[in-house]
Amino acid sequence: MNQTFTTHRRALMRRLPDGLILLAGGRELIRNYDVNYVFRQNSDFLWLTGVEEPGCALLLDPRKNSTTLFMPRIDDHHRVWEGHVPSPAEAKKLYGVQRVGFVDELSKELKAARRGHRRAYADPAAIKNWGNDLKGLRPASDVLVDAIEDLRTLKDEGELAFMRRANAVSGAAHVAVMKGARAGMREYEVQAIFDSACVGAGLKHLAYPSIVAAGDNGAVLHYRKNDAPLKAGQLLLIDAGAECRGYAADITRTFPVSKTFTRRQADVYDVVLGVQKALMAAAKPGVNSADWQVLSMRLIAEGLRDLGLLRGTTDSLVETGAVRLFYPHGIGHLLGLDVHDGLGGKRRKLPNPTKVPVRFVAKLEAGMAITVEPGIYFIDALLNSKSLAEKHRAAVDFAKARSWLGFGGIRIEDDVVVRRSGPPLNLTSVPKERRAIEELRRSAAHG
Ligand code: GLY
Ligand code: MN
Ligand code: MN
């Protein structure tokens, strides 16, 4: 039993003390005939229960401070095919809940549980399934979902332990990739090294499909094909992470397929690494993430100007969006049970104080887990766009930039936790200094 989930339930009941709270866990989805898609629990349900099994429900009564977990009733047919399933008594111990019942009794139980309550909070799936039983209690889902999202924003020690493990295992898998990748392999063979290292360490689920992108494919931000051959002289970008009890790691490294970086690769790498370190140091409580984003754009703009790809003042390169042609994504996002965790409550409503459009606008707070992931890319669709060429012709040396097409991209991504003072705690420990990477690459079999 993990105390973390009990703490989460208490926090939610404190937040919504005036109603009965009902949540439905995720259900299995049929892929075809007797085969289901791999089940992944709903993140809010996971946050409240730690239960990774499908078909459950959770009833919280804040007035009684009581928790009831409802599980599917299991018959012998199921036991023959699936094996042992925890009995209610075992589940009670396993998940640290006061009561365990069967889902097929939930309707009946709600008749008693709702007595004395004037309202209910239920998530959309619970309203769909048991809305009739909550009639008259004005069941609201938006308030519930918003409250959970808000509570999920700051990570406690129990959650950080899961995130540390997800990071440690994913980090070791990244190192295995740096040691194992070589020219002639296909991207999916590199993916197999990563995925197998995670599964082999006991983390059977990845947080998202691994992005393994050689050469030009590195310029495709969410590249998924993973089937091209690796060629000497190219860069390989790998963005991959496992999850532990649902908590994600989200790590990116970029390294040469050959033993060393070329001069041009090294020049861009040094810009991205410098920006990553500066932005990591700047991730402090009170900082607005929109300002943090702008800082990353400024530093990348300056780096690209030094490389002769951009011209003009830093302000204008950021404000006109010229730098976005090479860096078209955010510097980071919240990380947790979802690889892109959301913001709830008042935090969601913070206005963007900058002149640039930013998706992630929040005041950084101690306990937030975030990624720090600057990148520079040479993207055909942007560098060969007529309208962008027209708009940015004074700021971008398009002839030069187009001559870099085929380079792909460089992204370096670590997962950090903002601390009360000083720089954030870095959960990721995968080599990222050029020299350390080249050392690992030299130890790889280049066959
Ligand atoms: N792996 C997706 C991202 O970095 O946000
Ligand atoms: Mn990320
Ligand atoms: Mn990533």
Q: What is the pLDDT of residues 326-340, one digit of tens each?
A: 999 999 999 999 999
- What residues contact residue 130 under an 8 Å CB cut-off, 6+ apart? 22, 24, 57, 106, 107, 110, 122
Identify the residue whose tokens are 């007035």.
63
Domain co-membership, 182 together with 93:
no
Structure-block tokens of residue 226: 């993973």
373 ligand 1 Cβ < 6 A: yes
pLDDT in tens, 368-382: 999 999 999 999 999
Work out which ligand 1 atom sits closest to the CA atom of 373.
Answer: 4
- State how far the Cα of 398 lies from the Cα of 389, in Å rounded to an integer: 7
Domain co-membership, 200 together with 116:
no
Is the pLDDT at 446 greater than 80, yes or no?
no
Residue where one domain finishes, among candidates 152, 184, 217 = 152
Domain co-membership, 188 together with 72:
no
Determine the distance separating the centroid of ligand 1 and the alpha carbon of 309, expressed in angstroms.
26
Do the strands 99-102 and 30-32 form a parallel or antiparallel pair, or are they unpaired?
unpaired
Domain extent at residue 23: 2-152
Q: Is residue 93 part of a domain?
A: yes
What is the rounded average pLDDT of the residues 349-356? Answer: 93
250 ligand 1 Cβ < 6 A: yes
Q: Is residue 447 part of a domain?
A: no
Structure-block tokens of residue 213: 């992108």
One DSSP character per residue, 206-218 reads ESS--EEEEGGGG
Q: Is residue 370 part of a domain?
A: yes
Task: Please report, in angstroms and rounded to a whole number, the separation of the first and last CA atoms in the chain.
Answer: 48
What is the rounded average pLDDT of the residues 379-405? Answer: 98
- State how far the Cα of 265 lies from the Cα of 178, in Å rounded to an integer: 17
Structure-block tokens of residue 35: 């085969």
Structure-block tokens of residue 118: 């004037």
Determine the distance separating the centroid of ligand 2 and the alpha carbon of 253, expressed in angstroms.
12
Q: Which of 239, 236, 17, 237 is nearest to 120 (CA)?
A: 17
Q: Is residue 373 part of a domain?
A: yes
Domain co-membership, 142 together with 184:
no
pLDDT in tens, 165-210: 999 999 999 999 999 999 999 999 999 999 999 999 999 999 999 9
Write down the pTM of the prediction.
Answer: 0.97
Mean pLDDT rounded to a whole number for the chain: 96
Q: Which residues of 430-442 are buried (b: 16+ CB within 10 A; e: fewer)?
A: bbbebeebbebbe
Is the pLDDT at 41 greater than 70, yes or no?
yes
Residue pair 215/406 in contact by the 8 Å Cβ criterion? yes
Work out which ligand 1 atom sits closest to the CA atom of 250.
Answer: 1
Q: Is residue 347 part of a domain?
A: yes
What residue type is assigned to position 222 of the chain? H
pLDDT in tens, 355-371: 899 999 999 999 999 99
Residue nearest to atom 3 of ligand 1 (CA): 250
CATH assignment of the domain containing 240: 3.90.230.10
208 ligand 1 Cβ < 6 A: yes
DSSP lists the bridge partners of residue 213 as 237
Determine the distance separating the centroid of ligand 3 and the alpha carbon of 169, expressed in angstroms.
15
The 10 Å Cβ neighbour count of residue 168 is 18
Determine the distance separating the centroid of ligand 1 and the alpha carbon of 157, expressed in angstroms.
24
239 ligand 1 Cβ < 6 A: yes
Domain co-membership, 97 together with 161:
no
Q: Is residue 63 part of a domain?
A: yes
Determine the distance separating the centroid of ligand 3 and the alpha carbon of 122, expressed in angstroms.
32
pLDDT value at residue 1: 59
Residue pair 131/379 in contact by the 8 Å Cβ criterion? no
Determine the distance separating the centroid of ligand 2 and the alpha carbon of 428, expressed in angstroms.
13
Q: How many domains does the chain have?
A: 2
Domain co-membership, 121 together with 165:
no
CATH assignment of the domain containing 111: 3.40.350.10
pLDDT in tens, 48-98: 999 999 999 999 999 999 999 999 998 888 889 888 888 999 999 999 999
For residue 224, give the ligand nearest its CA. 1
DSSP lists the bridge partners of residue 415 as 371
- State how far the Cα of 402 lies from the Cα of 182, in Å rounded to an integer: 27
pLDDT value at residue 84: 87
For residue 208, give the ligand nearest its CA. 1
Residue where one domain finishes, among candidates 136, 152, 168 = 152
Ligand 1 pocket mutation pick from 208, 276, 329 by most atoms within 8 angstroms of CB: 208
What is the rounded average pLDDT of the residues 288-313? Answer: 98
Residue where one domain finishes, among candidates 99, 117, 152 = 152
Structure-block tokens of residue 170: 């994913």
Helix 263-281 to helix 434-443 angle, to the nearest 10 degrees? 130
Q: Is residue 290 part of a domain?
A: yes
Structure-block tokens of residue 284: 């402090």
Domain co-membership, 162 together with 148:
no
What is the rounded average pLDDT of the residues 407-426? Answer: 97
What is the rounded average pLDDT of the residues 149-155? Answer: 97
Ion ligand 3 neighbours (CB, 5 A) are 239, 250, 413
pLDDT value at residue 71: 97
* φ, ψ of residue 411 in degrees (nearest 5): -130, 140
Based on its alpha-carbon atoms, the radius of gyration of the chain, rounded to whole angstroms, reads: 25
Domain co-membership, 120 together with 246:
no
pLDDT in tens, 91-144: 999 999 999 999 999 999 999 999 999 999 999 999 999 999 999 999 989 999
pLDDT band with cut points at 50, 70 and 90 for residue 447: low
Half-sphere exposure of 194 (CA within 13 A, CB side): 32
pLDDT value at residue 2: 77
Domain co-membership, 88 together with 51:
yes
Q: Which of 267, 254, 278 is nearest to 304 (CA)?
A: 267
Determine the distance separating the centroid of ligand 3 and the alpha carbon of 228, expressed in angstroms.
20
Ligand 1 pocket mutation pick from 226, 335, 339, 341 by most atoms within 8 angstroms of CB: 339
Domain co-membership, 68 together with 147:
yes
- State how far the Cα of 180 lies from the Cα of 335, in Å rounded to an integer: 28
What residue type is assigned to position 425 of the chain? L
Q: What are the C-alpha distances in Å from 181 to residues 209, 252, 433?
A: 18, 15, 18
Q: What are the C-alpha distances in Å from 131 to residues 62, 255, 294?
A: 19, 53, 45
Q: Is residue 321 part of a domain?
A: yes
Domain co-membership, 417 together with 370:
yes
What residue type is assigned to position 108 of the chain? K
Residue pair 190/230 in contact by the 8 Å Cβ criterion? yes
Work out which ligand 1 atom sits closest to the CA atom of 333.
Answer: 5
Residue nearest to atom 4 of ligand 1 (CA): 250
pLDDT band with cut points at 50, 70 and 90 for residue 424: very high
Determine the distance separating the centroid of ligand 2 and the alpha carbon of 373, expressed in angstroms.
7
pLDDT in tens, 206-226: 999 999 999 999 999 999 999
- State how far the Cα of 44 lies from the Cα of 16, in Å rounded to an integer: 15
Domain co-membership, 74 together with 215:
no
pLDDT in tens, 236-291: 999 999 999 999 999 999 999 999 999 999 999 999 999 999 999 999 999 999 99
pLDDT value at residue 105: 97
pLDDT value at residue 52: 95
